Structure 1
Amino acid sequence: MIKRSVLLGLGIVSLLLGMAGIVLPLLPTVPFVLLAGFCFARSSPELHRWLHQHPWFAQALCDWHQQRGLRLPLKRRALVMTIASFSLSIWLVSVLWLKLFLAIICLILVAFLWRLPVVANAGKSSVYDPE
């Protein structure tokens, strides 16, 4: 019961951070939404189903679950936004060690995104059914 509550809370916080990441340059959206999906799968079938049917997230989650990849436009957007947001952050920060830390995190995230497979864009594919 406690584990379920913790996962539900973590999933909600993760989803809120992911949604904030849509408009805030420092927060990535995709990792937080994937984490929310993971947490909801283990804590709330209703929220898991809702997330997988949401117009903003359904296709990307479906692609991730079925093929462990992203469609090319989403992958490009994620790479561009990651590089842009980290570049802005590195430029704004005045502490050298923090600039280096941000640069290392950026390189790790870009390498992760770069290595993700590209899913063929065959129009609107079926939505992932978590059950």
Structure 2
Amino acid sequence: MKRIIFFILGCIMFILGTIGIIIPLLPTVPFYLAASFFWLNSSKKVHDYFVATKWYKQYVEEYIVEKKMTKKQQLKILVTVFCLLAIPFVMVPNTIMRMALIVVFVGHVIFFRVYFSDKRKAKLSKAEGIDL
């Protein structure tokens, strides 16, 4: 029963996310993330298939699970984030919003420095009993 409910909820979230592409008021990404969560938890077979895909291994396992990202990859992401945040920063003359955008960008920089730091990797490998 739980698997059927998760599958149906996944379908509903996918439909809402797709509608969000057309209607700007609905956020697309959260609905697609929720759809993937529900679908992956609806079936062991679907979960195993997803974990075996090259996209999972390249974008999820490498970056999130293994915490591996080169400085060049980090810089590329941060430049993209900077460009996307610079658009509303320049176009909207609101000081509070500009300060919030600066805080968001600085938060990204700090996150990348801490999350992908060598010290963090050393602590994790020591806890797991792995030598680097």
Q: Give the TM-score of the pair, scaled to structure 1.
A: 0.50
The answer for the alignment partner of 2:76 in structure 1 is: 77
Match in the other structure for 1:62: 61
Question: Any gaps of 5 or more consecutive residues in structure 1?
Answer: 21-28, 120-131
- The number of residue pairs the alignment matches comes to 102
Could you say which residue in structure 2 is the equivalent of 1:96?
95
User: What's the CA shift string for 1:45-95, capped at 9, x where partnerless?
Assistant: 55545554554453121214542x132143222122112211222112222
Q: Judging by fraction of residues, say which structure has more helix.
A: 2
Name the CA shift for 1:81/1:57 in 2 (closer, same or farther; >3 Å): farther
Larger radius of gyration: 2
Higher relative contact order (CA 8 A, sep 6+): 1
Instruction: With the length of structure 2 as denominator, give the TM-score of the two structures.
Output: 0.50
Whether the aligned pair in 2 keeps the contact of 1:37 and 1:48 (CA below 8 Å) is no
The alignment yields a C-alpha RMSD, in angstroms, of: 4.1
Residue type of the alignment partner of 1:70: K
Counterpart selection for 1:4 from 3, 6, 21: 6
- Matched residues in 2 for 1:10 and 1:85: separation? 30
